[in-house]
Amino acid sequence: MRPSTEELVSEYMQTAESMDLVESTREQKVRLFEEIGRLFRYVDEFDVNKYQLYLLETGRKKVSVNSYVKMTRPLYRWAVRQGWIAGDPFEGVRKFRVPLERIHVYKPCQIEALLAVSNDIWQARILAAVTAGMRRSECLNLTLDDVNFEACEIAIQPKRDTAETWEYLPKNKKYRIVPLVPALYNLIVSKIIPSLPAGQQYLTLSEKRHWALQRQRPLSYRKRNNPDENFTKPFKRIIERANTLLTAIDRINNRTFHDLRRTCITFWTQNRDLSPQEVRELAGHADIKTTMEYYAAVRTDVCRRAQLTSIGATGLEPATS
């Protein structure tokens, strides 16, 4: 009897390999596998090339198609081990070549402007991202117990479901230590901690939002990972206000909150005292390839040095007819 794709997915999702996935990844895989089941009724009908073309035709970008193929492959590798199919259908299949996109970073004057127009909580979020390389979910789940004031360090770590905290797992389940710079140290000590109500551990959530979440517990994965769902619009308003303090050439355009983290990692890669492996640990990247993308990006100092060897810089101007 030919096994159906639905049967394969049902069996695979009960394996230890699948159960160990981060909740968001697991949910994404379930939706992906349901789509595959509609496309290929039986396991042995699966065709990677048809799957790739289907994803492109439904509007996915090539980088997303590569990601979906990567997430799907473990399912069929498991099917091979279980004897459901004879061989790995992904063997020899190439990913789409995707050009390396420019890494967007903020200028120092832009960061200063953002901080100047933000309240204490938003200043803490911005500083945590741009000086410690923290992701949005990590900034929003930052608690008092995560901060080591003596060592000037912040621990990005899992949290248990307790009376004061909700369950939280950082991306890639990685525990790491990041620096606590003086500006963030002083902000937390002088303004954030004195304003915290009794029983609140979370440093970058307002009292109103914190207690609203406490009343909604147990929280869904989405709310645990993004405790402040009203995030993007307020940040865009902060950018709009910051732009009133900047010249036309320095205005902030097409930047996101995550670009603050990218800015931090870019600064780390320019620090000759830090090796790529150390930057990877600080950033919490699962793969060193992600870290190396920051080293591969052409930086301003590289362009400046290249200008010194250009024809114009040497005085050898092109001949004119």
Q: Are 123 and 245 in contact (CB under 8 A)?
A: no
Kindly list the domain boundaries of the chain, sorted by start residue.
Answer: 5-81, 108-264
Residue 69's closest CA among 44, 93, 34, 98?
93
pLDDT for 316 beyond 90: no
* Amino acid 19: pLDDT: 80
Cis peptide bond N-terminal to 197, omega within 30: no
Are the C-beta atoms of residues 2 and 43 closer than 8 Å to each other? Answer: yes
pLDDT of residue 74: 93
Considering the domain 108-264 in this protein, what is its CATH number? 1.10.443
How far is residue 37's CA from residue 31's CA, in Å, rounded to a whole number? Answer: 10
- Per-residue model confidence (pLDDT) at position 302: 65
Nearest Cα neighbor of 275 from 286, 287, 288, 263 is: 288
**pLDDT value at 315 more than 80:** no
| pLDDT value for 2 | 82
Nearest to 201, CA basis, from 142, 153, 150: 142
Q: What is the pLDDT of residues 226-240, one digit of tens each?
A: 999 899 999 999 999
Average pLDDT score, the chain: 90
| Contact (Cβ atoms closer than 8 angstroms) between residue 114 and residue 246 | no
